[in-house]
Amino acid sequence: MKEGKLQEYIELLIPERTGLLAEMETYATEHGVPIMEPAGIEAMLQILRIKSPKAILEVGTAIGYSALRMAYALPDAKIVTIERDELRLDKAREYIKEAARESQIVTIFGDALETRDEAGKWAPYDVVFIDAAKGQYRRFFEMYAGLLRPGGVVITDNVLFKGLVAEQQEIDKKRIRNLVTKIDEYNRWLMSHPDYDTVILPVGDGVAVSVLR
């Protein structure tokens, strides 16, 4: 309960989004589209402001919410984002056009496990942001981390998965338990990776930040 109260307190301090971003948040809620939780995305954006990346690759566009948040925070950065759900990507492109960010954000339609060559056209990247199918996190990491510049950063969302990674034995549904097991395996692999220094931030749904040594 105490941890939940702390999260509520932090979120209460975050200024409410207005305009297009508020509209996107409402759309995501009404249509069940997953977007980053407020505290998680604010933490990520602050890391990006410190890093000042010129090129960012996002694996998992959804409706373009995170891409636009990054674009607003880093107007000089080029953002390339991949999405396999055509309807969501169409919606993302509508929002990107409405925000007049079409020259800053490049969208790629396709399964991220099959689009490395296309994404590679804009490499090298300073940051790779993974926020797609959680069961494939390690494959995404291994596939796209190779497009990073030296000293680049990989940011992964949802690595605590509503806190369930810490209480796997108590999960009744087999599908959820299997997914949580994969996330836990990814976290352990990531934390012991010889080429990266990683920290997991317990904000939002859990954000892992991995810096290439």
Q: How far apart are CA 57 and CA 119, in angstroms?
A: 8
The CA-atom distances, in angstroms, between 121 and each of 124, 132, 135, 204, 205 are 9, 21, 26, 32, 31
Rg (CA), the chain: 17
Q: How far apart are CA 71 and CA 73, in angstroms?
A: 5
The per-residue pLDDT for 3 is 66
184 is in an annotated binding site: no
CA dihedral sign of residues 104, 87, 35, 14: positive
83 is in an annotated binding site: yes
Domains and CATH numbers, the chain: 2-212 (3.40.50.150)
The per-residue pLDDT for 1 is 43
Q: Furthest-apart CA pair in the chain: how many Å? A: 47
Q: How far apart are CA 82 and CA 85, in angstroms?
A: 10
Residue 111's region, left for phi above 0, alpha for psi from -120 to 50, else beta, is beta
157 is in an annotated binding site: yes
User: How is residue 15 written in tokens?
Assistant: 């200024």
187 is in an annotated binding site: no
66 is in an annotated binding site: yes
The per-residue pLDDT for 171 is 64
126 is in an annotated binding site: no
Q: Which residues of the chain have pLDDT under 50?
A: 1
The per-residue pLDDT for 77 is 98
Q: How far apart are CA 148 and CA 165, in angstroms?
A: 28
Amino acid found at 122: W
Q: What is the pTM of this model?
A: 0.94
117 is in an annotated binding site: no
